[in-house]
Amino acid sequence: MSFDQPSVNAINKEYKRERKLSLMERIYLPEIFKGLWFSFKQMFAPAVTMSYPEERWDPPSIFRGRPVLVEDNGQERCVACGLCARACPPLAISMQANEKSDDPKERYPDFFEINMLRCIYCGFCEEVCPEEAIVMSKDYDIVFESREDAIYDKERLLVPKEDLKERLDYLKEYRNGQFGSFWDFQEENNIHSVRDRDREWNTGLSLVDMLEQQKRNDQTKASSRWSA
**Is residue 164 near ligand SF4 by the rule CB under 6 A?**
no
Among 68, 88, 158, 168, binds ligand SF4 (CB under 6 A): 88
Cα–Cα distance measured from residue 78 to residue 159, given in angstroms and rounded to the nearest whole number: 12
Interface with ligand SF4 includes 122 (CB under 6 A)?
A: yes
Q: Which member of 68, 84, 135, 157 binds ligand SF4 (CB under 6 A)? A: 84
Does position 65 bind ligand SF4 by CB under 6 A? no
**Interacting residue with ligand SF4 among 68, 114, 164, 168 (CB under 6 A):** 114
Which residues is 75 bridged to in the sheet? Answer: 72
Using the minimum distance from each CB to ligand SF4, give the nearer residue, 84 or 164: 84
79 binds ligand SF4 (CB under 6 A): yes
81 contacts ligand SF4 (rule: CB under 6 A): yes
- Looking at beta carbons only, is 59 or 123 nearer to ligand SF4? 123
> Which backbone phi and psi does 107 adopt, to 5 degrees?
-105, 155
Phi, psi dihedral angles at 88 (to 5 degrees): -70, 115
Per the CB < 8 A criterion, the answer to whether 124 and 87 are in contact is yes
Contact 126, 67 (CB under 8 A): yes
Kindly report the length of the chain: 228
Q: 50: buried, middle or exposed (CB in 10 Å: 19+, 13-18, 0-12)?
A: exposed
Q: Report CA-CA distances (Å) from 80 to 21, 156, 165.
A: 71, 17, 22
Q: Of the candidates 117, 120, 142, 211, which one interacts with ligand SF4 according to CB under 6 A?
A: 120
> Interacting stretch for ligand SF4, rule CB under 6 A, among 14-22, 45-53, 128-136, 198-206?
128-136
Residues of this chain that interact with ligand SF4 (CB under 6 A) are: 67, 78-84, 87-90, 92-93, 95, 114, 119-125, 128-129, 131, 133-134
